[in-house]
Amino acid sequence: MQALRERGLSLDESSRLGAWLRLLDQWNARVNLTGLRSLDLLLHHLVDPVLAIRDLPESGSLLDIGSGNGSPGLIWAALRPDLRVTLLEPRLKRWAFLRDAVRAIGRPDTRVLRDRHDEYEGPGAETVSVRALALPLDEISRLILPRGRLVVLGAPPTLGVHWQADAQPWPGVHVLRCRVDSSR
């Protein structure tokens, strides 16, 4: 897909993200995965912010909460084979879409779980991401490993006493660290 290649992606990366975008278009006709309909809008709102922070998660584990249409977690899975990615999506149709999308991008090792963040019993992650969800930070902190980070795409969250803003590497992207070990 030429528009992806113009963003500096390799042929393999463009192929993976192109497969996701085609699948997103097919599924979006039946299931409301996004209100964005044109390729330009999809790239601008879903792909470009993740490309700008593609190296932000350190190698290791990534947990994406409310993965829905696949941005940002599935995009990171497509671009970063060094990440062990888990996508959490409680809604059945979106969960089914994500399972198809994981196969389409060639990352069958990406876990797609039909769980809410507050029901997830799996291990925490070095990086936890959330997009356009206003979740209480205290509910998320248990999912972040010590010295890990939370990446929020969307409105800035209200910081509690245990949180500090780490960086804002791109407009609408906020990186936070929890100052206490909440994994106990």
User: How does pLDDT run across 97-156, given as a tens digit for each residue?
Assistant: 999 999 999 999 999 999 999 999 999 999 999 998 888 898 899 999 998 999 999 988
pLDDT of residue 181: 59
Mean pLDDT of 172-176: 93
Please report the domains of the chain, with CATH numbers, ordered by start residue. 2-178 (3.40.50.150)
Which position has the token pair 């593609």?
A: 54
pLDDT of residue 177: 92
Whether the upstream peptide bond of residue 57 has omega within 30° of 0, thus cis, is no
Q: Is residue 9 classed exposed, middle or buried when 0-12, 13-18 and 19+ CB atoms within 10 A define those classes?
A: buried
Between strands 83-88 and 111-113, the pairing is: parallel
Cα separation, 135 vs 113, whole angstroms? 18
Q: Is a pLDDT exceeding 90 seen at residue 162? A: no
Q: Classify residue 4 as left (phi > 0), alpha (psi -120 to 50) or beta.
A: alpha
pLDDT of residue 184: 40
Which tens digit of pLDDT belongs to each residue from 5-58?
A: 999 999 999 999 999 999 999 999 899 899 888 888 999 999 999 999 999 998
Confidence at 62, pLDDT banded by 50, 70, 90: very high
